[in-house]
Structure 1
């Protein structure tokens, strides 16, 4: 069984929420060296904003799980095989 790809994504997103500064936290997620999305977290509004680089659209989320799933869909390999 392959390890979950969601766990590292959630850890990175959670680190954004735990940051104590008032600055908007930013994380970039890549696939094969190509930036797929940028996630921002605003601690004032407690909202995540995801910029999808493949469609040039922006989405807002108030739930870390939903953001993580969107990031996973963008960065996971197009064809995955179970072992």
Structure 2
């Protein structure tokens, strides 16, 4: 059985939230060596921002589950 891709995404997002720094945290998400999305987490507002790199659209999330599902969809398109 393969490891869950969704769990891996949530773990990365959770690590961003748990960082003790007050600075904005950023992560890149890629599939097969191609960057698909760029995510930032702002601890001041407790929100994630996802930028789809192909379209440069940006989406804001205040819920880790919704952010993870959108990233999952982006990686599996």
Q: TM-score with structure 1 length normalisation?
A: 0.86
Number of positions where the alignment pairs a residue of Structure 1 with one of Structure 2:
77
Q: Does the alignment pair 1:73 with 2:67?
A: no
Bigger-Rg structure (1/2): 1
**RMSD of the alignment, in Å?**
1.1
Q: Does the alignment pair 1:46 with 2:46?
A: yes
Q: Does the alignment pair 1:28 with 2:25?
A: no
Deviations 1:6-54 (A, max 9, x none): 0000000000000010110000000111110000000000010000112
**Structure 2 portions without partners, runs of 5+:** none
> Alpha-carbon deviation of 1:3?
3.3
2:55 matched to which residue of 1? 55
**Structure 1 portions without partners, runs of 5+:** 79-83
- Runs of 4 or more consecutive aligned structure 1 residues displaced over 3 Å after TM superposition: none
Q: TM-score with structure 2 length normalisation?
A: 0.93
